[in-house]
Amino acid sequence: MKLLLNTKIYFLIIVTISILIGCNDSKTSDDNSSKIELKEELPPANICKSDLGVLKMDVNGYSIGKKTELNELKKFLKDNSCDRIEITYQLKGSYGDNISKKIIYDKREKRLQDIYTLNNVIEDYKNVSPDGLKKFLEAGEKSFYSLSDYTKSEYDFNNREMTNKAVGKKPLQSEWDGSVEVIKQFIKSNAKDASSIEFLEWSKVSPLDEYWIVRCKYKGSNSFGASVTENKWFYIQNEKVVKTKDIL
Protein backbone atom coordinates (compact mmCIF):
# COMPACT_ATOMS: atom_id res chain seq x y z
CA MET A 1 0.00 0.00 0.00
CA LYS A 2 2.79 2.43 0.92
CA LEU A 3 4.61 1.57 -2.31
CA LEU A 4 1.51 2.33 -4.35
CA LEU A 5 1.01 5.63 -2.53
CA ASN A 6 4.61 6.65 -3.07
CA THR A 7 4.30 5.77 -6.76
CA LYS A 8 1.21 8.00 -7.11
CA ILE A 9 2.91 10.86 -5.32
CA TYR A 10 5.97 10.52 -7.54
CA PHE A 11 3.77 10.49 -10.63
CA LEU A 12 1.93 13.64 -9.51
CA ILE A 13 5.23 15.44 -8.90
CA ILE A 14 6.48 14.54 -12.39
CA VAL A 15 3.23 15.72 -14.01
CA THR A 16 3.29 19.01 -12.07
CA ILE A 17 6.89 19.75 -13.05
CA SER A 18 6.11 19.01 -16.71
CA ILE A 19 3.14 21.39 -16.67
CA LEU A 20 5.23 24.17 -15.09
CA ILE A 21 8.03 23.73 -17.64
CA GLY A 22 5.52 23.78 -20.48
CA CYS A 23 4.00 27.01 -19.22
CA ASN A 24 7.41 28.67 -18.95
CA ASP A 25 8.38 27.56 -22.45
CA SER A 26 5.11 28.89 -23.85
CA LYS A 27 5.58 32.24 -22.09
CA THR A 28 9.15 32.53 -23.35
CA SER A 29 8.01 31.71 -26.87
CA ASP A 30 5.26 34.34 -26.67
CA ASP A 31 7.72 36.93 -25.34
CA ASN A 32 10.18 36.27 -28.17
CA SER A 33 7.50 36.37 -30.84
CA SER A 34 6.38 39.79 -29.60
CA LYS A 35 9.81 41.36 -30.11
CA ILE A 36 9.95 43.18 -33.47
CA GLU A 37 13.27 44.37 -34.91
CA LEU A 38 12.74 47.97 -36.08
CA LYS A 39 14.89 49.52 -38.76
CA GLU A 40 15.34 53.23 -39.35
CA GLU A 41 13.57 54.23 -42.52
CA LEU A 42 12.89 57.46 -44.39
CA PRO A 43 10.22 58.16 -46.98
CA PRO A 44 11.51 58.17 -50.59
CA ALA A 45 13.32 61.39 -51.46
CA ASN A 46 11.46 63.84 -53.67
CA ILE A 47 13.95 64.66 -56.45
CA CYS A 48 13.76 67.99 -58.29
CA LYS A 49 15.61 67.90 -61.62
CA SER A 50 16.54 70.48 -64.23
CA ASP A 51 18.54 70.36 -67.47
CA LEU A 52 19.65 73.88 -68.40
CA GLY A 53 21.40 72.98 -71.65
CA VAL A 54 24.34 75.14 -72.78
CA LEU A 55 25.25 78.17 -70.66
CA LYS A 56 27.65 80.97 -71.55
CA MET A 57 30.84 81.21 -69.50
CA ASP A 58 33.03 84.16 -68.56
CA VAL A 59 36.85 84.24 -68.55
CA ASN A 60 36.91 83.04 -64.96
CA GLY A 61 35.06 79.84 -65.78
CA TYR A 62 31.69 80.89 -64.29
CA SER A 63 28.32 80.90 -66.04
CA ILE A 64 26.83 84.31 -66.89
CA GLY A 65 23.34 85.64 -67.53
CA LYS A 66 20.01 85.16 -65.77
CA LYS A 67 19.82 81.47 -66.60
CA THR A 68 22.59 79.88 -64.53
CA GLU A 69 23.00 76.75 -62.46
CA LEU A 70 23.26 78.83 -59.26
CA ASN A 71 20.02 80.70 -59.97
CA GLU A 72 18.34 77.36 -60.61
CA LEU A 73 19.73 76.01 -57.34
CA LYS A 74 18.41 79.07 -55.51
CA LYS A 75 14.95 78.51 -57.00
CA PHE A 76 14.82 74.86 -55.94
CA LEU A 77 15.99 75.68 -52.42
CA LYS A 78 12.86 77.78 -51.96
CA ASP A 79 10.73 74.71 -52.71
CA ASN A 80 10.40 72.85 -49.41
CA SER A 81 9.19 69.74 -51.23
CA CYS A 82 12.62 69.21 -52.84
CA ASP A 83 14.65 66.71 -50.80
CA ARG A 84 17.28 66.28 -53.50
CA ILE A 85 18.21 68.73 -56.26
CA GLU A 86 19.91 67.67 -59.51
CA ILE A 87 20.94 70.28 -62.08
CA THR A 88 22.73 69.34 -65.31
CA TYR A 89 24.22 71.85 -67.75
CA GLN A 90 27.06 72.58 -70.14
CA LEU A 91 29.47 75.49 -70.19
CA LYS A 92 30.77 77.11 -73.35
CA GLY A 93 33.44 79.82 -73.50
CA SER A 94 37.16 80.48 -73.18
CA TYR A 95 37.49 77.73 -70.56
CA GLY A 96 36.55 75.12 -73.15
CA ASP A 97 33.62 74.13 -75.34
CA ASN A 98 30.59 72.35 -73.90
CA ILE A 99 32.03 71.25 -70.57
CA SER A 100 29.41 68.91 -69.09
CA LYS A 101 28.63 69.45 -65.41
CA LYS A 102 26.12 68.46 -62.78
CA ILE A 103 25.22 69.77 -59.33
CA ILE A 104 23.62 67.47 -56.79
CA TYR A 105 22.42 68.78 -53.43
CA ASP A 106 20.78 66.52 -50.88
CA LYS A 107 19.02 68.48 -48.12
CA ARG A 108 18.64 65.51 -45.83
CA GLU A 109 22.30 64.51 -46.05
CA LYS A 110 23.45 68.17 -46.20
CA ARG A 111 25.76 67.22 -49.04
CA LEU A 112 26.59 69.10 -52.24
CA GLN A 113 28.51 67.62 -55.15
CA ASP A 114 29.96 69.62 -58.04
CA ILE A 115 30.62 67.09 -60.81
CA TYR A 116 32.43 67.14 -64.16
CA THR A 117 30.34 64.39 -65.72
CA LEU A 118 32.65 63.58 -68.65
CA ASN A 119 35.49 62.33 -66.44
CA ASN A 120 33.61 61.94 -63.14
CA VAL A 121 35.71 64.47 -61.26
CA ILE A 122 33.73 65.18 -58.08
CA GLU A 123 34.19 68.07 -55.69
CA ASP A 124 32.35 66.95 -52.58
CA TYR A 125 31.07 69.33 -49.89
CA LYS A 126 29.59 67.80 -46.74
CA ASN A 127 27.76 69.41 -43.82
CA VAL A 128 26.22 72.07 -46.09
CA SER A 129 23.03 73.25 -44.39
CA PRO A 130 20.15 74.59 -46.54
CA ASP A 131 20.25 77.92 -44.68
CA GLY A 132 24.00 78.22 -45.19
CA LEU A 133 23.66 77.42 -48.89
CA LYS A 134 20.92 80.05 -49.22
CA LYS A 135 23.16 82.68 -47.61
CA PHE A 136 25.99 81.68 -49.97
CA LEU A 137 23.77 82.16 -53.01
CA GLU A 138 22.15 85.38 -51.78
CA ALA A 139 25.62 86.86 -51.27
CA GLY A 140 26.29 86.37 -54.99
CA GLU A 141 29.10 83.87 -54.44
CA LYS A 142 30.08 81.70 -57.41
CA SER A 143 32.83 79.41 -56.13
CA PHE A 144 31.73 76.58 -53.86
CA TYR A 145 35.10 76.92 -52.13
CA SER A 146 33.52 79.85 -50.28
CA LEU A 147 30.81 77.66 -48.73
CA SER A 148 32.88 77.40 -45.55
CA ASP A 149 32.25 81.13 -44.98
CA TYR A 150 28.51 80.48 -44.64
CA THR A 151 28.24 76.95 -43.24
CA LYS A 152 30.51 74.43 -41.53
CA SER A 153 31.20 72.55 -44.74
CA GLU A 154 33.86 69.88 -45.24
CA TYR A 155 35.55 69.67 -48.65
CA ASP A 156 36.82 66.55 -50.39
CA PHE A 157 38.24 66.24 -53.91
CA ASN A 158 36.97 62.82 -54.90
CA ASN A 159 39.24 61.45 -57.60
CA ARG A 160 38.86 57.80 -56.67
CA GLU A 161 36.89 57.17 -59.88
CA MET A 162 38.51 59.91 -61.93
CA THR A 163 39.22 58.92 -65.50
CA ASN A 164 40.51 62.20 -66.93
CA LYS A 165 43.13 62.11 -69.66
CA ALA A 166 45.37 64.86 -68.29
CA VAL A 167 49.03 63.92 -68.62
CA GLY A 168 51.13 63.76 -65.46
CA LYS A 169 50.35 64.49 -61.83
CA LYS A 170 47.92 67.22 -60.89
CA PRO A 171 49.98 70.36 -60.11
CA LEU A 172 50.01 71.36 -56.47
CA GLN A 173 47.98 74.46 -55.66
CA SER A 174 48.59 76.63 -52.61
CA GLU A 175 45.76 76.56 -50.08
CA TRP A 176 46.85 80.03 -48.98
CA ASP A 177 46.59 82.05 -52.19
CA GLY A 178 45.70 79.49 -54.90
CA SER A 179 49.04 79.90 -56.67
CA VAL A 180 50.69 77.15 -58.70
CA GLU A 181 54.48 77.12 -58.37
CA VAL A 182 55.27 75.76 -61.84
CA ILE A 183 53.32 78.67 -63.39
CA LYS A 184 54.90 81.27 -61.12
CA GLN A 185 58.36 80.08 -62.18
CA PHE A 186 57.34 80.01 -65.86
CA ILE A 187 56.03 83.58 -65.76
CA LYS A 188 59.06 84.95 -63.92
CA SER A 189 61.53 83.19 -66.21
CA ASN A 190 59.87 84.78 -69.27
CA ALA A 191 59.32 88.24 -67.76
CA LYS A 192 61.33 91.35 -68.65
CA ASP A 193 61.60 92.16 -64.94
CA ALA A 194 60.90 89.17 -62.71
CA SER A 195 61.01 91.32 -59.57
CA SER A 196 58.04 93.38 -60.82
CA ILE A 197 55.67 90.42 -61.18
CA GLU A 198 52.59 90.55 -58.96
CA PHE A 199 50.05 87.73 -59.06
CA LEU A 200 46.44 88.91 -58.89
CA GLU A 201 44.11 85.96 -59.52
CA TRP A 202 44.19 82.18 -59.84
CA SER A 203 41.58 79.69 -60.99
CA LYS A 204 41.50 76.18 -59.58
CA VAL A 205 43.54 73.49 -61.32
CA SER A 206 41.23 71.51 -63.61
CA PRO A 207 41.66 68.73 -66.20
CA LEU A 208 40.88 69.52 -69.83
CA ASP A 209 41.58 66.83 -72.41
CA GLU A 210 45.26 65.86 -72.01
CA TYR A 211 46.16 68.98 -70.00
CA TRP A 212 45.89 70.40 -66.51
CA ILE A 213 44.79 74.00 -66.96
CA VAL A 214 44.93 77.06 -64.72
CA ARG A 215 44.02 80.68 -65.35
CA CYS A 216 46.36 83.25 -63.87
CA LYS A 217 46.02 87.04 -63.91
CA TYR A 218 49.18 88.97 -63.11
CA LYS A 219 50.98 92.23 -63.80
CA GLY A 220 54.57 93.30 -64.33
CA SER A 221 56.82 95.76 -66.13
CA ASN A 222 57.37 95.56 -69.89
CA SER A 223 60.45 96.55 -71.89
CA PHE A 224 59.57 100.24 -71.48
CA GLY A 225 59.10 99.99 -67.73
CA ALA A 226 55.32 100.37 -67.95
CA SER A 227 53.09 98.15 -65.83
CA VAL A 228 51.11 95.66 -67.93
CA THR A 229 48.37 93.27 -66.77
CA GLU A 230 48.09 89.83 -68.39
CA ASN A 231 45.34 87.22 -68.09
CA LYS A 232 46.21 83.80 -69.50
CA TRP A 233 45.34 80.12 -69.49
CA PHE A 234 48.30 77.88 -68.74
CA TYR A 235 48.36 74.29 -70.04
CA ILE A 236 50.44 71.85 -68.00
CA GLN A 237 51.74 68.36 -68.70
CA ASN A 238 54.15 66.42 -66.48
CA GLU A 239 54.49 69.45 -64.18
CA LYS A 240 55.65 71.72 -67.04
CA VAL A 241 53.85 74.57 -68.83
CA VAL A 242 53.62 73.42 -72.45
CA LYS A 243 51.49 76.23 -73.88
CA THR A 244 49.52 79.35 -72.96
CA LYS A 245 46.43 81.13 -74.25
CA ASP A 246 45.74 84.83 -73.86
CA ILE A 247 42.33 85.91 -72.58
CA LEU A 248 41.22 88.99 -74.48
Instruction: Output the DSSP codes for the chain.
Output: -HHHHHHHHHHHHHHHHHHHHHHHHHHHHHHHHT--------PPP-EEEEEEEEEEB-TTS-B-SSS-HHHHHHHHHT-TT-SEEEEEEEEEETTEEEEEEEEEEETTTTEEEEEETTTTEEEEEES--HHHHHHHHHTT---GGGGGGTS--EEEEE-TT------SSPPP--TTT---HHHHHHHHHTSS-GGG-EEEEEPPPEEETTEEEEEEEEEEE-TTS-EEEEEEEEEEETTEEEEEEE--
pTM value? 0.53
pLDDT score at 162: 45
pLDDT score at 204: 87
Q: Indicate the pLDDT class of residue 13, thresholds 50, 70 and 90.
A: low
**How much is the mean pLDDT over the chain?**
82
Indicate if the pLDDT at residue 12 is higher than 90: no
Instruction: Give the integer Cα–Cα distance in Å for 210 and 40.
Output: 46
pLDDT tens sequence across 99-144: 889 999 999 899 999 988 876 778 889 999 999 999 999 999 888 8
pLDDT tens sequence across 54-104: 998 887 778 888 899 999 999 999 999 999 999 999 988 755 567 889 999
pLDDT score at 201: 92
